[in-house]
Amino acid sequence: MDVPFLSSGAMSRAHYALVRKVELATSPSQVDQIVLAEIETIRGRFARSMSNMKQAKEYLITLLYCFMTLESTEDVDLEFALAHAVNLAEAGDTVQNKRIGYLYCIEMMPKEHELQLMLVNTLRKDLESPDVPHICLGLEALIQSPSVDVIPAVQDRVHNLLAHNSARVRRRALLAFRTLATSSPDILRHVIDKMGNRLRDADVVVVGAALSTCIPLLENGLVAKDKLRPLLNKLLRTTWRNVHDISNRWLLMRYIGVLRVTGLSRDTVEILLDIVHTCSRHKPLPAAIVYGCFQVIAIVDIGVVLEVQSATKTTFVASVRHLLLSQAPNDIYLFVSCLDYLDPSLWSGSKSEIPAVLEAWEVERVIALLDFPDLSIRKKTLQVLLKVDRSLVEAHYTRLLQMDRASYAPLEKDDAAKRILEVIHVLTDSVGEEYAHNVKTLIDIIQGDTSQDGAVLFESIAEDVLTHVRNGSGDFRSSCLGALFVLFDDDATKTSPTVTVILSALACEHLESSLLPPSHLLQGLASRLSSNGGALSFDITLPCHRCASITAAIQDALLLSMLRVAAECGEISDNILAIVRKIQERAGRHIRRRCEQFISLSQARSTLRTILSSAESSSLPDFMLALESYHRDHVETQATSPPRVAVERPSSRASSRASSHTPGKLRYAAYDSPKPTAKLRRVPSTSSVAKSDSSRFVGQDKEDVLSRTVTAGDLAMALATEQIELQALTKFPRQVSPSGHIAKDDSLSKPDLIMLDSPFLAEPPSGLTPGTSSVAELDFDSVWNKFHDANLRGWCDSPIDVVVRRLQSIQRRMRVTAADRPPFQGDLKILISPELLGSSDQEGYAALRLREGEEDSCLWHLRCEEGGLRSTIRTLLTDA
Amino acid sequence: MIHAVLIFNTSGVPRLTKFYTPLQQSSQTLVQKIYSLVSSRQASLCNFLDAPELESFLGQTDDNGEKLRVVYRNYATLYFVFVVDSAESELGILDLIQVFVESLDRAFENVCELDLVYHFDEAHHILSEVIQGGLVLETNVEEIDRAVQEAAKARKESFASANPLSLGGGGVGSRGGTLQTPLHWITDRLTGVRAR
């Protein structure tokens, strides 16, 4: 950022200074501070005196920059500048100044703002201007903020502008009609008389705009398709024959777009085949045109296509078959998309009278695309093969199910499960019962693979299934639920954790669609709660911390679901209450509290109904939010016991502040030392997603993205938080503070809801769960120095982030220190420690330094005294 | 229809954001969400992806109930991202991104991230010559350039063209230290290597 002012291109010294300060800021909060101060300065300047046009323009641009740059735009009011923006748009001395005025109004002015009227007036004046740039400016403002109210004021003038001398005006006028038509389709009646001329316009860009406007005309039935089709076919033919190259690719694409709506004649199919043939030989490949042509061919009768193909002695597929050999994923996507748009008999040889176009090796290659890394390509390939022969997809499904996943890490198993679900979606389409059956089989198999680690909860499967059932049609949902709820009759001890979570969430969310009586569901859920409180938590072969977390997650889901179902039941039987009490006796704090809620609320149906009615949706997490809200409002406020940390409502930032600091009370104790702030302004992706996702589970600010609709699958997602955070640390090492802990920016330093209320972290330490982290007892430096005799070094052919991901598979605690932090600056430091701490100072510890090498490799240096662990890590580092 | 055009750098810092559909949530969270979707993708994947999770930001799917798609290209330190619905062809949008980048390059002569930072208004203007209200207005780079030149004759020269020897130099800001790296779209095109 050491750019001198003169060569920076900044508007002024002030602009230069602001940008420089913002770019050099070391934390998001610092950026916000700088920007908010700048906004206040500009507010003051606007208030103090009337600025000249140049200054006003500069301030408005700066405000727009500030708005984009702010980390949080809540409570930031930039409306104070709207009057100045309208003024600049109205009285600006240059088109450029007026443009900034309009831009500010379009970006910042609410739809119902009182100044809208003034803006319409300005816009009308510009439209009436004899000056082309002013007219263009007015039309652009109209296109960007179309509203029904403005139509009467501008309609006649815009209609006249359709025949303006300037092509720039004509095409903007056409687009203005198109955008105005979204709120008032009838307005298009006024352009019908001009469309013929505009479609034959001398300027190709005007023709393109006219073609865009044709689409809403046709879709709204204002022009008959049969009437327009001959004209379009003729124009396309003329354009293609005259040009016969793809220099005017955009116009061709527009034609193709309209033909999709009007349909096309045999002649046009011939032209399209010629276009595909020509384009496929062109370098670089005009992929969009080829794609568009195949999209249109999809609506043509197969007989016509065959006729054209035999007359021209060429086929559509033959023209693009070379794309199958391309290394570029976009080209491969184009190829499978082309196949998807065509009737399979045109190329696969499935009908004896039509010869196959693709050879056997090419078909094999298409089948191999089922394992392509890109999801879009896999989905398209599945659709193509399903159309060719369902047994091909079924064979792929069987192969995926039978794959040996024993050696997979949990994340890889999750990924494998997701791929199988993709196939299930395509195979079962809308047959709910079959879908349920396949999901059950999949979970049994995947869970079976993890028999030695049976407590694994496959969150992606749970998430996917819940979303799919929610988005399915009514018939699909009811048959799917019927098939899944039958599982309540199965032996509870044999139900896997993933299935239990799915059943709990579905019972809560779709209770009203269930054919089973609520009491039956409640009994089924209770029996699973009973079995979960037993076997899992005492299975000493499992890593204790993990086992307890998963048990708590499942118990939490079950108890919440039971409470929801209890709202529809009459009396709650004693044996169910006995099961809950039994769980309550030996559970941790969080589950104990949940049990208390069940016991007290399950009999109070009216209260439960009140809670249900306050929930945003019927999903389990929303029910939980409503329950917590009720608990906070009605129970905790009356409690005489020492105050607990309140659970935040997701929608109110103010309330979160209020809950953390009781207003009006004097403090005698010293305030906490300031929280460390993040080095980077942005919270990097994975970290932010993980954090937000987990927070979403319990609730967070309404404006926050991830608080939107809290999905049921988030319950499961919360479990992954630990791993994701670890990945984020390695990927974005600058976020690590000097002490080695994750630095938190302002948003992260707010009370972490998961920390406060999650069943996974709130469990008190017990005999089986490790206590609060004592990892900090040994730092990297001391372990490194202690193991000075146990050195191993080598090169790894993978980048550092891959290595770290691999290390996670050994299921140990890991602490990562960024490369720019001491000790050993320049190396990423990883301290590996045992899951259960405290047995011995050295046992289970390893210290690893990673230095980035060239071409995605890294140099590693390991110190570890435990033989088994050392060889495990060495294997991970050397097996590229 | 095009619902949004975003430019952010490889650290996720937004350089230009333009929404053609009213936003239901804050633009900052949307940029972060898209950054997290795009930045983790490898070169072996397509330049587009389905993003149904963006519905809650842009508040709609199209009439066919099809989901929103994110189409992106990565040039040097910048991601150019378009959020579109199924009425737009993802491959056509990739071409449009190229048109936009070429237009920026014409206007700034060897465009780099720094140009977008200091010529924020100019970048908006160029975008408005390419896209209006979520619809494609102009795709001819010559024509776009002519319109931009006409409107801003007094535009200052870009940093990169004024300081050819200082490329790659300069201090490192916390928001990214490679603001002056040219986007090299032309090299990519000549060598046939597509920008990611």
Do B62 and B137 lie in one domain? The reply is yes
**A681 → closest Cβ in B17, B35, B175:** B175
Residue A669 forms part of a structural domain: no
Angle at which helix A95-108 crosses helix B120-130, to 10 degrees, equals: 80
Contact A328 B194 (CB under 8 A): yes
What is the nearest CA distance from B186 to chain A, expressed in angstroms?
13
Residue A414 forms part of a structural domain: yes
A766 band by pLDDT with thresholds 50, 70 and 90? very low
Do A720 and A607 lie in one domain? The reply is no
Only one residue has tokens 């079950």, namely A558
Residue B159 forms part of a structural domain: no
For A704-739, b where at least 16 C-beta lie within 10 A, e where not — what string? bbbbbebbbbbbbbbbbbbebebbbbbbbbbbbbee
Q: How far apart are CA A547 and CA A556, in angstroms?
A: 14
- Comparing A121-130, A219-228, B117-126, the range with the smallest average pLDDT is A219-228
**A853-879 pLDDT, tens per residue?**
766 778 888 888 888 888 888 888 876
Do B51 and B18 lie in one domain? The reply is yes
Do B96 and B45 lie in one domain? The reply is yes
Closest to A446 in 3D by CA, of A414, A407, A493, A492: A414
Contact A140 B128 (CB under 8 A): yes
Q: How far apart are CA A126 and CA A153, in angstroms?
A: 12
pLDDT number for residue A550: 64
Q: How far apart are CA A87 and CA A299, in angstroms?
A: 52
Looking only at the bridges linking them, the beta strands covering B78-84 and B69-75 are antiparallel
**A773-802 pLDDT, tens per residue?**
434 457 788 888 888 778 888 888 788 888
What is the nearest CA distance from A489 to chain B, expressed in angstroms?
35
Q: How far apart are CA A509 and CA A465, in angstroms?
A: 13
Do B130 and B82 lie in one domain? The reply is yes
Domain interval for residue A786:
687-734+745-880
Residue B72 forms part of a structural domain: yes
Q: What residue type is assigned to position A153 of the chain?
A: A
Domain count, chain A: 2
What is the nearest CA distance from A25 to chain B, expressed in angstroms?
6
Residue B153 forms part of a structural domain: no
Do A704 and A579 lie in one domain? The reply is no
pLDDT exceeds cutoff 70 at A150: yes
Residue A859 dihedral angles phi and psi, to the nearest 5° = -100, 130
Domain interval for residue B179:
164-196
Do B33 and B99 lie in one domain? The reply is yes
Q: Comparing A446 with B91, which gets the higher pLDDT?
A: B91
Instruction: Please tell me if residue A341 touches chain B, with a CB cutoff of 8 Å.
Output: no
Do B143 and B194 lie in one domain? The reply is no
According to DSSP, residue A736 is labeled B
What is the nearest CA distance from B50 to chain A, expressed in angstroms?
8
Write out the H or E segment, with its range, that includes residue A796.
strand A791-796
pLDDT number for residue A691: 38
Of the residues B3, B10, B24, B32, the best mutation for testing chain A's interface (the one with the most A CB atoms within 10 Å of its CB) is B32
Which of A574, A597, A624 is where one domain is finished?
Answer: A624
ipTM of the complex: 0.83
Do A594 and A706 lie in one domain? The reply is no
pLDDT number for residue A865: 82
**A574-628 pLDDT, tens per residue?**
888 888 888 888 778 888 888 888 888 887 888 888 888 888 888 888 888 888 8
| Average pLDDT score over residue span A148-171 | 89
pLDDT exceeds cutoff 90 at B97: yes
User: Residues of A with CB below 8 A from B159's CB?
Assistant: 3, 7-9
User: Among residues of chain A, what percentage have pLDDT more than 70?
Assistant: 77
Do B47 and B86 lie in one domain? The reply is yes
**A661-686 pLDDT, tens per residue?**
333 333 333 444 444 433 333 334 33
Residue B77 forms part of a structural domain: yes
Of the residues B6, B55, B118, B153, the best mutation for testing chain A's interface (the one with the most A CB atoms within 10 Å of its CB) is B118
pLDDT number for residue A352: 80
According to DSSP, residue A803 is labeled H
pLDDT number for residue A644: 41
Q: pTM of the full predicted structure?
A: 0.70
Structure tokens at B113: 């991230």
Which of A575, A599, A624 is where one domain is finished?
Answer: A624
**B120 → closest Cβ in A1, A64, A688:** A64
Do B107 and B25 lie in one domain? The reply is yes
Contact B28 A73 (CB under 8 A): yes
Coil/strand/helix, residue A272: helix
Contact B92 A68 (CB under 8 A): no
Do A694 and A547 lie in one domain? The reply is no
Q: Quick one: chain A helix, strand, coil %, rounded to 5?
A: 65, 5, 30
Residue A402 forms part of a structural domain: yes
Do B51 and B108 lie in one domain? The reply is yes
Contact A688 B36 (CB under 8 A): yes
User: Residues of B with CB below 8 A from A16's CB?
Assistant: 118
For B113-142, b where at least 16 C-beta lie within 10 A, e where not — what string? bbbbbbbbbbbbbbbbbbbbbbbbbbbebe
Structure tokens at B146: 């002519």
Q: Comparing A628 with A6, which gets the higher pLDDT?
A: A628
Contact B152 A96 (CB under 8 A): yes
pLDDT exceeds cutoff 70 at A214: yes
Do B169 and B142 lie in one domain? The reply is no
Domain count, chain B: 2
Instruction: Please tell me if residue A296 touches chain B, with a CB cutoff of 8 Å.
Output: no
pLDDT number for residue A711: 41
Q: Comparing A160 with B175, which gets the higher pLDDT?
A: A160
Contact B27 A73 (CB under 8 A): yes
DSSP for A88-146, written as a single string: HHHH-SSHHHHHHHHHHHHHH--TT-TTHHHHHHHHHHHHH-S-HHHHHHHHHHHHHS-
Instruction: Please tell me if residue A685 touches chain B, with a CB cutoff of 8 Å.
Output: yes
Task: Name, in order, each residue with C-beta under 8 angstroms of B171's C-beta and a sequence gap of 6 or more.
Answer: A1, A2, A24, B177
**A175 → closest Cβ in B30, B137, B172:** B137
Q: Beta strands of A715-778 (E only): which ranges?
A: none
Instruction: Please tell me if residue A250 touches chain B, with a CB cutoff of 8 Å.
Output: yes
Q: How far apart are the first and last CA of chain B?
A: 23
A835 band by pLDDT with thresholds 50, 70 and 90? low
Closest to A646 in 3D by CA, of A753, A526, A797, A806: A753
Question: What residue of A is the nearest CA neighbor of B136?
Answer: A209
Residue A455 dihedral angles phi and psi, to the nearest 5° = -85, 10
Q: Beta strands of A409-477 (E only): which ranges?
A: none
Contact B91 A291 (CB under 8 A): yes
Angle subtended at Cα A596 by Cα A592 and Cα A598, rounded to the nearest 5 degrees: 115
Contact A288 B91 (CB under 8 A): yes
Q: How far apart are CA A704 and CA A272, in angstroms?
A: 48
| Average pLDDT score over residue span B120-147 | 88
- Comparing A182-191, A470-479, A802-811, B22-31, the range with the smallest average pLDDT is A802-811
Q: Comparing A526 with B188, which gets the higher pLDDT?
A: A526
Contact A288 B45 (CB under 8 A): no
Do A705 and A822 lie in one domain? The reply is yes
Rounded to 10 degrees, what is the CA torsion of A777, A781, A782, A786? Answer: 140
CATH number for the domain harbouring residue B45: 3.30.450.60
**A175 → closest Cβ in B36, B44, B132:** B132
Do A751 and A615 lie in one domain? The reply is no
- Comparing A121-125, A251-255, A549-553, A610-614, the range with the smallest average pLDDT is A549-553
Residue B106 forms part of a structural domain: yes
pLDDT number for residue B14: 93
Q: How far apart are CA A837 and CA A771, in angstroms?
A: 9
Residue A478 dihedral angles phi and psi, to the nearest 5° = -70, -40
A815 band by pLDDT with thresholds 50, 70 and 90? confident
Closest to A19 in 3D by CA, of A51, A76, A61: A61
Structure tokens at A200: 């034959």
Q: How far apart are CA A178 and CA A153, in angstroms?
A: 17
Do A413 and A493 lie in one domain? The reply is yes
What is the nearest CA distance from A812 to chain B, expressed in angstroms?
25
A52 contacts A13 by C-beta, under 8 angstroms: no
Contact B89 A292 (CB under 8 A): yes
Closest to A838 in 3D by CA, of A790, A772, A780: A772
Structure tokens at A683: 């919270």
pLDDT number for residue A244: 52
pLDDT number for residue A637: 57
Residues 132-171 of chain A whose Cβ lies under 8 A from any Cβ of chain B: 133, 140, 143-144, 146, 168, 171
Residue B102 forms part of a structural domain: yes
Q: Tell me what the pLDDT averaged over chain A comes to.
A: 76
Q: Tell me what the pLDDT averaged over chain B comes to.
A: 78
Q: Comparing B165 with A658, which gets the higher pLDDT?
A: B165
Distances in Å between the Cα of B84 and the Cα atoms of A330, A433, A443, B48 are 17, 34, 35, 10
| Average pLDDT score over residue span A737-754 | 38
Is the N-terminal amide bond of A355 cis, ω within 30° of 0? no
Which of A598, A624, A650 is where one domain is finished?
Answer: A624
| Average pLDDT score over residue span A342-362 | 86
Coil/strand/helix, residue A314: coil
B66 band by pLDDT with thresholds 50, 70 and 90? low
Q: What residue type is assigned to position A311 of the chain?
A: A
Do A595 and A707 lie in one domain? The reply is no
Contact A681 B13 (CB under 8 A): yes
pLDDT number for residue A316: 92
User: Residues of B with CB below 8 A from A328's CB?
Assistant: 194
Do A715 and A852 lie in one domain? The reply is yes
Do A568 and A714 lie in one domain? The reply is no
Contact A329 B151 (CB under 8 A): no
Do B104 and B56 lie in one domain? The reply is yes
User: Among residues of chain B, what percentage have pLDDT more than 90?
Assistant: 36
pLDDT number for residue A616: 80
Of the residues A107, A705, A725, the best mutation for testing chain B's interface (the one with the most B CB atoms within 10 Å of its CB) is A705
pLDDT exceeds cutoff 80 at A278: yes
Contact A284 B30 (CB under 8 A): no
Q: How far apart are CA A319 and CA A855, in angstroms?
A: 38
Contact A205 B194 (CB under 8 A): no
| Average pLDDT score over residue span B31-60 | 87
pLDDT number for residue A251: 85
Only one residue has tokens 């396309």, namely A236
Q: How far apart are CA A298 and CA A305, in angstroms?
A: 10
Contact B174 A680 (CB under 8 A): yes
User: Residues of B with CB below 8 A from A249's CB?
Assistant: 95
Coil/strand/helix, residue B71: strand
| Average pLDDT score over residue span A363-371 | 92
pLDDT number for residue A853: 74
Q: How far apart are CA A538 and CA A86, in angstroms?
A: 70
Instruction: Please tell me if residue A376 touches chain B, with a CB cutoff of 8 Å.
Output: yes
**A12-58 pLDDT, tens per residue?**
888 899 998 898 888 888 889 999 999 999 998 888 776 688 888 99
Do A603 and A705 lie in one domain? The reply is no
Do A480 and A619 lie in one domain? The reply is yes
Residue B155 forms part of a structural domain: no
Instruction: Please tell me if residue A866 touches chain B, with a CB cutoff of 8 Å.
Output: no
Closest to B80 in 3D by CA, of B97, B58, B99: B97
Do B69 and B24 lie in one domain? The reply is yes
B135: β partners:
B132
Residue B121 forms part of a structural domain: yes
B50: β partners:
B69
Q: How far apart are the first and last CA of chain A?
A: 39
